[in-house]
Amino acid sequence: MTETPIDDRTTSTLFPDAPGRTKGYEKRAVDQFLSRAREAFESDAEGTLRSTEVRATAFPLVRGGYAIAPVDAALGRVEDAFAAREREHALSRLGARAWVAETRDTAQVVLDRLQRPRGHRFDRVGFLRYGYRVDEVDVAADRIARYLAAGDPITAEQVRSVAFRMERGGYREQQVDAVLDAVVEVMLAIG
């Protein structure tokens, strides 16, 4: 198996503090999650913690917390490690052909959505509510669609860190986030 271990720099509690009056991630919450992730990874019990759970992890923001960027980078490495292990388990369980077909199917579903006309790729929130800015999401969707269709370069970290401003009547956040999560899953599945 070619697993990427969760190394000491990933689970170290030696993250820098958020500077000055800037809020950072609550230290105890980060330390507890990384400890849990390390235990789950070392136990090698399939399904104890999944890469999707790592990606969905959120920590409270507090003064005196850890700086956000280094913690997010560490979470990215942890997610990559779990995704690599999940890929190995899936390959051994399903076989390469079935696993590739499953990943291709997911990628095709995402690509079909992203190739819809601009402004109509996702449901909109009501006019009095705020959602993601349509033009910004469409730019990101175009770039991801080019990656899926033609292999244009983009990294999982770029997809993970994409952020959109809000506007009235924008795209529904949950739908956009679900598609971005699926893109990251596809990217990690193909390594």
174 and 136, same structural domain?
yes
CA angle 137, 54, 166 (to 5 degrees): 25
143 and 86, same structural domain?
no
pLDDT at 152 over 80: yes
177 and 130, same structural domain?
yes
The pLDDT of residue 3: 47
pLDDT at 121 over 80: yes
Q: Which residues of 79-112 are buried (b: 16+ CB within 10 A; e: fewer)?
A: bbbbbbbbbebbeeeeeeeebeeebeeebeebbe
122 and 85, same structural domain?
no
Expressed as residue numbers, the domain containing 51 is 23-90
127 and 85, same structural domain?
no
How many structural domains is the chain composed of? 2
pLDDT digits (tens, 9 = 90+) for 5-43: 444 444 445 799 999 889 999 999 999 999 999 988 888
pLDDT digits (tens, 9 = 90+) for 84-96: 887 787 777 777 7
Q: Report the range out of 11-20, 40-49, 53-62 with the highest average pLDDT.
A: 53-62
Q: How far is CA 124 from CA 95, 120, 128, 134, 142, in A?
A: 40, 8, 11, 9, 18
Report how far residue 23's alpha carbon sits from residue 35's, in angstroms, rounded to the nearest whole number: 22
